[in-house]
Structure 1
Amino acid sequence: MKNRKVMFMSPLQVQTIEEEYVSRPLGENEIFVKLIYSLISPGTEQAMLAGTESWAQLPLCPGYASVSRVIEAGKGVKDIEPGDVIFHYGSHCEYQTLEVRDVVLKVPAGLELRWVPFTRMATVAFTSLRVSNIELGDKVSVTGLGLVGNLAAQLARLQGATVIGVDLSKDRLRTARQCFVEYTLEADDSVKEKIMKITDGRGVSSHIEATGIPRVGVDSLEYIGSQGEMILLGSPRGVYQTDVTDVLNYCHLENRGSITFKGAHEWRYPVEPDRFVKHSLVRNSLIVFELMQRQKLQIEPLISHVIKPEQAAEAYEGLRINKDRYNGVLFDWSAEGETR
């Protein structure tokens, strides 16, 4: 059996290879699956491809979120059978063996399969809401309206906030409007003035920083209101030199009250539900399924490309140099003429 997979061979070098799949007996809690769609995570995977992530040594097969069909299940697997369609965290590899103790969830009947891999991006975004103090009637700003930032803006709106999205890209701002984000501002020197006008001079009570660019986070401080909070959703990357004393004094003194910084990395919560912890990755994923089914969470506008894995090099190059056009890129692993 031939197995296709996307490989990062060296920095900025992507290949789609085909090799013979070597099968082995499944463990008690393992399942064997075939990909239907897998989603590129632009931020994480581009950092891996650049060779800047110490935990991702090249060469490797990347991946983030997928929807697959179960071919075989181990003897100890319950509630999942051959033929079931599942959401899981996985690599861009056509055939895979998964542990069901990881995030492996049956997809509700009737849910659009192209949307399913976006569940992972939504649960990443969910963390920004879980750690925040966002309440009904609040004004919330979001810098960076890529997949995660857009979904964070949508979730903040569902929480009852008036949301202000900020991005350099007119295309991403247009997509945010298609997803019902109330205010969309182009990132320029007038952002503070516009946000202060929207908030009647008070500033936002919560700011979600989704770009991962340190300077953007620091610049955002000036439109966070007194007793406000900065939610660090995007993983900070890159070098930025500044006087940290000025930053700390602004939060401590000049803003007439403290600004709280909160980290919102997805892994701060457990994978499985626990009676001692309210939130988990599984619970958040199930809530995302429901929001998608009820069309409360807009996914279709986020899909920019649905392509074959053989076009992987083109996809990653597009994500690197043409971020306005490339955003939500799905690999379609179906064979010609195959039905789902």
Structure 2
Amino acid sequence: MKNRKVIFVSPQQVETVEEDFSPAALADHEVLVKLIYSLISPGTELAMLSGKEWWAKLPVCPGYASVSQVVEVGRGVADFKPGDTVFHYGNHSEYQVVSASHMFIKPPADLDLRWVPFTRMATVAFTAVRVSNIEVGDYVSVTGLGLVGNLAAQLARLQGAFVIGVDLSSKRIETANLCGIDYALNGGNGGVKEQILALTGGQGVSTQIEATGVPKVGVESLGWIGSLGEIVFLGSPRGEFNTDVTDVLNYCHLYNRGCITFKGGHEWRYPTEPNAFVKHSLVRNSKIVFELMKQNRLQIEPLLSHVIKPEQAQEAYDGLRNNKDDYNGVLFDWS
């Protein structure tokens, strides 16, 4: 059969190739699937496309989250059959062999298939809420209102918090308002700290979720975190930033508000599959996200900016890198 794939050929260069594909005999736990939609993860995939990530040597076929149709199953696969629709972690390859025992879930039959790949972005965001101390009535700030930051803000609001989102993009602020975020501030206009302190009666937020991955933003946000508060690093920090770390540590430990806790919120903090000794897992979180989507308690449609063909891959990645106002949630349609 012919198989289309999106390939990162070299830094900032993307091609969609077609090649012959003859999968080997499936192992007992394996499944052959055909993509319906796959979602670009802007942060991770643009980092890969830069050619600077040691774990993603170019050329490489990227990918993050998919909804597919089962074509064939291995002999040991009992819960899935050809024709089933499944959510899984997959790359941008029209046909691929994946494990049915690793993040391979049937979404609800009445869920919009375009929304299904966003489940992974929501479970990435979920970690920030899971590790936090957010309680009903708390004020929470989120810096960076891209896919993950927006979803983290929505989830914090579902946790009972009053949420303040911060971004440089007026379009992302508009999207945050459409998604029900309580307050959305434009960080490019300055005075963010003052606005947040005003909104919180001078107390500052109890939880700050840093979703930009820009180290400077994380350090600057310490100034509006209240006493005994916390900062959760959701976006993977990238890029160089020079500062006096002693000043940062002393501020968190001693000065002014003090006693600020640093937390990591990476998605792999929790096991993939349900575990009798751990409450949360990626599978459990994914099923919760499905239900929140079904009930329209988690807004996905405002995040979906483009549904395009794989042959437009270069255009998609250029847009995500250079035109963040218009490009946000970009799906490849493999039909």
User: TM over 0.5, yes or no?
Assistant: yes
Counterpart secondary structure, 1:324: coil
| Residue 35 (structure 2) aligns with | 35
Would the aligned equivalents of 1:8 and 1:61 in 2 still touch at CA under 8 Å?
A: yes
Counterpart CA distance in 2 for 1:328 and 1:85 is 21
| Residue 283 (structure 1) aligns with | 284
Would the aligned equivalents of 2:251 and 2:258 in 1 still touch at CA under 8 Å?
A: no
| Residue 181 (structure 1) aligns with | 181
Counterpart secondary structure, 1:17: strand
Counterparts in 2 of 1:240-251, with a 5 A limit? 240-251=241-252
| Residue 66 (structure 2) aligns with | 66
Residue deviations 1:285-323 (CA, integer Å, cap 9, x gap): 000001001110000000010000000000001111111
Would the aligned equivalents of 1:123 and 1:284 in 2 still touch at CA under 8 Å?
A: yes
Counterpart CA distance in 2 for 1:62 and 1:293 is 29
Structure 1 unaligned regions, length at least 5: 335-340
Counterpart CA distance in 2 for 1:288 and 1:79 is 21
| Residue 157 (structure 1) aligns with | 157
Measure how far apart 1:226 and its partner are: 0.2
Counterpart CA distance in 2 for 1:200 and 1:207 is 16
Would the aligned equivalents of 1:63 and 1:92 in 2 still touch at CA under 8 Å?
A: yes
Measure how far apart 1:33 and its partner are: 0.5
Sequence identity percentage: 70
Measure how far apart 1:257 and its partner are: 2.9
Measure how far apart 1:23 and its partner are: 2.3
Residue deviations 1:10-54 (CA, integer Å, cap 9, x gap): 111100000111222111001110000000000000000001110
Q: Aligned-pair RMSD on alpha carbons? A: 0.6
Counterpart secondary structure, 1:142: strand
Would the aligned equivalents of 1:273 and 1:280 in 2 still touch at CA under 8 Å?
A: yes
Counterpart secondary structure, 1:254: coil
Residue deviations 1:164-186 (CA, integer Å, cap 9, x gap): 00000000000000000010000
| Residue 102 (structure 1) aligns with | 102
Counterparts in 2 of 1:150-229, with a 5 A limit? 150-187=150-187, 188-229=189-230
Would the aligned equivalents of 1:66 and 1:89 in 2 still touch at CA under 8 Å?
A: yes
Aligned residues: 334
TM-score (norm 1): 0.97
Would the aligned equivalents of 1:225 and 1:255 in 2 still touch at CA under 8 Å?
A: no
Counterparts in 2 of 1:93-132, with a 5 A limit? 93-132=93-132
Runs of 4+ in 1 over 3 A off after TM superposition: none
Counterpart secondary structure, 2:254: helix
Amino acid at match of 1:111: L
| Residue 337 (structure 1) aligns with | none
Counterpart secondary structure, 1:45: helix
Counterpart CA distance in 1 for 2:230 and 2:257 is 14
TM-score (norm 2): 0.99
